[in-house]
Amino acid sequence: NQKKKLLNKHFLITAGPTHERIDPVRFIGNYSSGKMGYAIANELVFCGAKVTLISGPVQIKNINPEIEIIKVESADQMHEQCLRIFPEVDGAVMCAAVADFTPESYSDIKIKRVKDDLVIQLKPTRDIAGDLGKIKTNEQILVGFALETNDELTNAYSKLKRKNLNFIVLNSMQDAGAGFGVDTNKITIIDKDNNQTFFELKSKTEVAKDIVTQIMSEMNLNER
Ligand code: C5P
């Protein structure tokens, strides 16, 4: 009975993009819809888990009231909430498309149109998944995502190693219907021993089931 398998387990999920403020009316963002992360949160709740979802700005409606949602805007805010909650959880799934760079400074007033070029200096954000990987215990599961344009499998595996993940979900960029905004996704799951499992294109709801099944096997819950 899938419904009971994750009873008494608590998961942290990140989802959506982050917005990095430039001035009161502008930000740097990305096309992440948050659909994949919300689908994973739903599936974990279905399997009996408690879920805390740290969400960037998304347009998703009809959210399962059993999911505890913490809304954040920036990479820095997401980082702060994740580090606060991670010690309490049994597992974390880093699904958010976190900004890699954020403006060095914020302008309190709207930046005016001028004839000259405008230069916005950016500084790197902190790697949330990487920082959780450093404090992860042997009992905790940490899952990451990867979106690569080249050398997909090699890059995803080195990301898994660098961030100390249990497994990484590689999103295909090759296939129409995979990735940002759409309701479907095509993934490859790569584990610590570089075992690669290729999945068909399916709805993000179905993809979430495959990811949760992998989480259960990492937790040795599948044979029960
Ligand atoms: O290094 P890269 O951004 O490609 O890694 C992607 C994975 O790392 C995703 O799981 C993403 O949620 C996570 N990540 C993060 N914090 C960042 C950047 C990426 O948690 N600042």
Which residues, in sequence order, are CB contacts of 183 under 8 Å at separation 6+?
Answer: 35, 203, 204
Report the nearest atom of ligand 1 relative to the CA of 82. Answer: 20
CA–CA separation, 224 and 222 (whole Å): 6
Could you give all domains of the chain from N- to C-terminal order, each with its CATH number?
A: 2-218 (3.40.50.10300)
From the CA of 129, how far away is ligand 1's center (Å)?
Answer: 6
Over residues 157-216, the pLDDT tens digits come to 999 999 999 999 999 777 777 767 788 999 999 999 999 999 999 999 999 999 999 999
Residue pointed to by tokens 């995803």: 156
DSSP for residue 66: T
Q: Which residue's CA is the nearest one to ligand 1's atom 9?
A: 145
Distance 114 CA to ligand 1 centre (A): 35
Q: What percent of the chain has pLDDT over 70?
A: 97
Give pLDDT tens digits for 118-170: 999 999 999 999 999 999 999 999 999 999 888 999 999 999 999 999 999 99
Choosing from 94, 148, 153 the residue with most ligand 1 atoms within 8 A of its CB, the one to mutate for a pocket test is 94
- Binding residues for CTP are 100, 110, 145, 159, 163
> What residue has token string 């009996």?
48
Task: Name the 3-class secondary structure at 108.
Answer: coil
Angle at 192 between CA 198 and CA 30, to 5 degrees: 65
Residue of the nearest CA to atom 21 in ligand 1?
127
DSSP 36-49: HHHHHHHHHHHTT-
Can you tell me whether residue 209 is helix, strand or coil? helix
Q: Which residue has 């400074």 as its token pair?
A: 105
Give CA 1 to chain center in angstroms: 27
Q: Which atom of ligand 1 is nearest to the CA of 75?
A: 21
User: For residue 109, what are the CA distances in angstroms to 23, 46, 48, 122?
Assistant: 6, 46, 47, 18
